[in-house]
Structure 1
Amino acid sequence: MAADIEESRYARFALRCAKFAERWFPDSWVFAALAVVIVTVATLAMGARPAEAAKAFGDGFWSLIPFTMQMAFVVIGGYVVASSPPAVKLIDRLARIPKNGRSAVAWVALISMVASLLNWGLSLVFGGLLVRALARRTDLRMDYRAAGAAAYLGLGAVWALGLSSSAAQLQANPGSLPPSILAITGVIPFTETIFLWQSGVMLAVLVIVSLVVAYATAPGPNSAKDAQACGVDPAFSLPALPPRSRPGEWLEYSPLLIILMVLLASGWLFNEFSTKPAITAISGLNTYNFLFIMLGALLHWRPRSFLDAVTRAVPTTTGVMIQFPLYGSIAALMTTVKGSDAQTLAHHISTFFTSIASHDTYALLMGVYSAVLGFFIPSGGGKWIIEAPYVMQVANELQYHLGWAVQIYNAAEALPNLINPFYMLPLLGVLGLKARDLIGFSFVQLLVHTPLVLFLLWALGTTLSYIPPMMP
């Protein structure tokens, strides 16, 4: 395995797939728009009136506005924290630990996966900056591409099993759920999803296996391609604050306002965590985002530095902002528009899956389905809005554990991320690489993860019993 990974047939195949995707695949918004068209045509084929389909499209378009903003702030909060001066100093210290190039790749993978359990946006930026810091070490012969792929493992392997899981957060927050989905699933707290012991077992196995694969596939010192060979200058420094040019800017450069805000925020957070169980408090997506935004402001210390970081973070949220309204429309079309038989499209899809699935095959069937769909609709929260109406209805009819059904989605939906360039964009911007530079390595992870994840979903699912939906 010490040979350059580009010489393996798996990597060559992955690179061909990446080249094909980059050449022929449109922007992910186009896939979402196509899904709207396909679902609309399906409702009309069922006998629905065009006026009803149009009404559902318009009504659903704005149904996810709270969740859309919440997901955008997940990205912004993670980016702001990861790019703060204390975080950059921590990264420099972490970069001193590995002793050789292959262990450095595994180290990046570990840090990325741990960070992703807190915030997937944090994982991408923090991991990318760690790779650059390691690349600056003259005593370390590390493959820059392999390390970049390792920095992506947080999002590609385990992020959806952590606190920023879009599906788990959505199901734990009834105010963010569309009423049509809430009626099927009820509220599913973190204790029934990411905090199940079965989820912990899956997480531990995936982390260990990912580390082994990252280390084993990292090229040795003789064949490693460093940052300079990739055409990247790994030097990095935080953007310097521009000098004050007018008296009105003095508050932008003073920490006074941030100190006062953080004190107020600390009081609110203390009240939240002292009056509620810790799991319940952190399950609130607003609380979660509030914590990261205030932490980011504190770490940047001065409003000007904080605002500059937010300015750099906002462009990474464009996919969320422009696509999620379409997912809301799709959910409305599927769950509210009735055909000539007075049934919805979601009902027909759930009936189909119920006819071919059993309690024993549910995990495998839904896992494969979620993984395949995830390649075309790379949006954890948005795609859950599409899938939940029929996936969870099938779980109810088969009396399958609803929380584990969410985890099946979480674990399987992350698989195509390993070869889908959509979520790589923030990381690629930090690294100065292209998707094809990473996919040769991440594809090997996909080959290992796919059978392992499907087996774990099936095996661990057999240990759980059905609990009826809990309505708020």
Structure 2
Amino acid sequence: MIKALGAKFTEIFKKYMPDAFVFALVLTIIVGGIAVVWTESTIMQVIQAWYKGFWMLLEFSMQMILILVTGYCIALSPIVKKLINKLTQFIYTPKQVYPFILIVGMMLSAISWGWIVITAVLARTLAMRIKGLNYPYLIACVYFSGIFWVNGFSSSIPLLLNTENNYLIEAGILTTTISTSSTLGSILNISVMLFSLLVAPLLFFLLIPKEEQGLEEMLLDENQIDVTTIKEEADGMKHSVMTVSDKLNSSIILQYMVGLMGLAYIVFHFSTNGLDLNLNIMIFVFLIMGMFLHKTPIRYGIAMKRSSMNISGILFQFPFYAGIMGMMIHTGLGDELARWMVSVATIDTYPLMAFFSGGVVNFAIPSAGGEFAVIGPSIINAVKEIGVGLSESEVNQMIARSALSIAYGETLTNCLQPFYLLIILPIMGLGIKIQARDVMGYLIVPFLVFLVGWSVMVVFVPI
């Protein structure tokens, strides 16, 4: 029955869900319309807010492109290809692939959410070798594994709460930082992690579709599979007689000298800041690793070119989502929505209200840090009002619970919208005809199961 339900949702999504860009355009109109009706903003003020927002995620967009390109570049190196082959040598059947990818993907996402790129490369490699897979379903497995980032080292909201002099403290909303031991190290977060690790692989195993749709059958052009290695392409670009430019292009010493500079900074960063994982340092690590793995400038350039072949979705769609974010922030719509949702909250229901607030606002602001900046202050103030009369430590525990609830809600509703699928499809969709609608339907049943499971946990599991 559960398999038939998954198939039914998939057919519905294939029939009714438009392209990811159309989704962004429809969401733009919906959020703009709500802003006009709900806030005191005029139509022109909403349009101005939309324009202001357009440029708010330029840095984030570039970070997304670089995490994608540099991560894929590493995966194209001969050493990593061998490691991937060794890691997957005991995987022979589709029924082994799906849970394997989910578990590995969750572990990688726990380190850094940007590492979903590595999961995508791993999954595509397996899909090239193993027959009988349903490739869109495999993409869904990769995408869903990324929800685990919210429990791990790069979970932005808990990290923000533990940052000295963060904007919440400067605004007087918080009086002190909240340790990650109260959020990421809490009983609640560990329980959510265990629930995800146990339920997700089992659920996706039960949902495996009957029909096969292998990667090789979907390829539009067999040449999309790299026939020539990066080394062979680099050698083919040399002159018949070695020139100065050829020597510079093929210089291991030159590339390794710069690589050592980067390695020195990486050691310095982690020795002075501990396990401080953020997007910038992860991109830098990927860049330097790629330089060492590809050895010469010409090979690294070829690898980066191959890694950049399918990034158009991020380039032009992220600004539209940023525009939606701008309307939420500059019209006050996000704050109004948060106030309305927490106005009905009580000492027993505030975690659930925070959870649903995070989930709903995520459609308009698909960035945990950006979303928390909009709705976090209102929710924390509401929690403080609800907790009047309690000790400071008890109120801080309530704030920690509400912050985690927002984070869980935010990441879970990614299952219903294709924003972060734009990071996976450039790798897994290379050379094939596939859209978000071919993937998203497989995520509805897992979304519903986790919605119920996480809703119960944020309310009843101790912090």
- Give yes or no for TM over 0.5: yes
Correspondence for 1:248? 245
Residue 237 (structure 1) shift: 5.7
Go from structure 1 to structure 2 and tell me whether the alpha carbon gap of 1:437 and 1:96 turns closer, same or farther (over 3 Å shift).
Answer: farther
Residue 206 (structure 1) shift: 0.4
Correspondence for 2:390? none
Residue 212 (structure 1) shift: 0.6
CA contact (8 A) 1:28 1:378 kept: no
Residue 284 (structure 1) shift: 5.0
- Tell me how far apart the structure 1 counterparts of residues 379 and 367 of structure 2 sit (CA, whole Å): 16
Correspondence for 2:124? 132
- Tell me how far apart the structure 1 counterparts of residues 455 and 88 of structure 2 sit (CA, whole Å): 34
Q: TM (normalized to structure 1)?
A: 0.76
Tell me which amino acid in the other structure corresponds to 1:13: F
- Tell me how far apart the structure 2 counterparts of residues 332 and 23 of structure 1 sit (CA, whole Å): 26
Q: In the alignment, which of 267, 281, 297 is matched to residue 287 of structure 1? A: 281
Is 1:202–2:198 an aligned residue pair?
no
CA contact (8 A) 2:140 2:439 kept: yes
CA contact (8 A) 1:120 1:154 kept: no
Residue 211 (structure 1) shift: 0.6
Tell me which amino acid in the other structure corresponds to 1:261: V
Go from structure 1 to structure 2 and tell me whether the alpha carbon gap of 1:416 and 1:351 turns closer, same or farther (over 3 Å shift).
Answer: closer
> Between the two proteins, what is the percent identity of the paired residues?
22
Deviates further, 82-91 or 446-455: 82-91
CA contact (8 A) 1:173 1:285 kept: no
The within-5 A match list for 1:150-165 is 150-155=141-146, 157-165=147-155
Deviations 1:334-391 (A, max 9, x none): 56xxxxxxxxx66655543342012321222222232233345444444344333433
The within-5 A match list for 1:231-380 is 235=225, 240=230, 241-242=233-234, 243-244=237-238, 247-248=244-245, 250-276=247-273, 278-279=274-275, 282-283=276-277, 285-311=279-305, 312-313=307-308, 315=312, 317-318=314-315, 322-323=319-320, 326=323, 329-330=326-327, 333=330, 348-380=336-368
Tell me which amino acid in the other structure corresponds to 1:111: V
- Tell me how far apart the structure 2 counterparts of residues 178 and 38 of structure 1 sit (CA, whole Å): 28
Correspondence for 1:390? 378
Deviations 1:292-334 (A, max 9, x none): 3323333333333434454534646426852575366446525
Is 1:17–2:13 an aligned residue pair?
yes
Tell me which amino acid in the other structure corresponds to 2:18: E
Go from structure 1 to structure 2 and tell me whether the alpha carbon gap of 1:65 and 1:422 turns closer, same or farther (over 3 Å shift).
Answer: closer
CA contact (8 A) 1:32 1:377 kept: no
Q: In the alignment, which of 183, 191, 203 is matched to residue 213 of structure 1? A: 203
> Which ranges in structure 2 are unaligned for 5 or more consecutive residues?
387-394
Correspondence for 1:411? 408
Deviations 1:56-83 (A, max 9, x none): 8888776666666555544444344344
Go from structure 1 to structure 2 and tell me whether the alpha carbon gap of 1:394 and 1:244 turns closer, same or farther (over 3 Å shift).
Answer: farther
Q: In the alignment, which of 92, 98, 113 is matched to residue 91 of structure 2? A: 98
- Tell me how far apart the structure 2 counterparts of residues 33 and 257 of structure 1 sit (CA, whole Å): 52
- Tell me how far apart the structure 2 counterparts of residues 49 and 149 of structure 1 sit (CA, whole Å): 38
Q: Tell me the SS of whatever aligns to 2:238.
A: coil
CA contact (8 A) 1:33 1:326 kept: no
**CA RMSD across the alignment:** 4.0
Q: Tell me the SS of whatever aligns to 2:362.
A: helix
Deviates further, 180-189 or 266-275: 180-189
- Tell me how far apart the structure 2 counterparts of residues 332 and 372 of structure 1 sit (CA, whole Å): 15
- Tell me how far apart the structure 1 counterparts of residues 70 and 179 of structure 2 sit (CA, whole Å): 23
Go from structure 1 to structure 2 and tell me whether the alpha carbon gap of 1:283 and 1:56 turns closer, same or farther (over 3 Å shift).
Answer: same
Tell me which amino acid in the other structure corresponds to 1:420: Q
Deviates further, 320-329 or 286-295: 320-329
Is 1:118–2:115 an aligned residue pair?
no
- Tell me how far apart the structure 1 counterparts of residues 401 and 228 of structure 2 sit (CA, whole Å): 42
Residue 425 (structure 1) shift: 3.3
Deviations 1:28-49 (A, max 9, x none): 266357646754665435xx99
In the alignment of these two chains, the number of paired residues is 437
Is 1:455–2:456 an aligned residue pair?
yes
Go from structure 1 to structure 2 and tell me whether the alpha carbon gap of 1:164 and 1:317 turns closer, same or farther (over 3 Å shift).
Answer: farther
CA contact (8 A) 1:81 1:295 kept: yes
Tell me which amino acid in the other structure corresponds to 2:292: L
Correspondence for 2:139? 148
CA contact (8 A) 1:374 1:416 kept: yes
CA contact (8 A) 1:259 1:298 kept: yes
Correspondence for 1:468? none
- Tell me how far apart the structure 1 counterparts of residues 319 and 61 of structure 2 sit (CA, whole Å): 9
CA contact (8 A) 1:102 1:215 kept: yes
Deviates further, 11-20 or 354-363: 11-20
> Which ranges in structure 1 are unaligned for 5 or more consecutive residues?
336-344, 465-472
CA contact (8 A) 1:131 1:147 kept: yes
Deviations 1:133-192 (A, max 9, x none): 323436x5433333232222222x3123233434445555679x7789965457556444
- Tell me how far apart the structure 2 counterparts of residues 413 and 332 of structure 1 sit (CA, whole Å): 17
Go from structure 1 to structure 2 and tell me whether the alpha carbon gap of 1:302 and 1:119 turns closer, same or farther (over 3 Å shift).
Answer: farther
Correspondence for 1:339? none
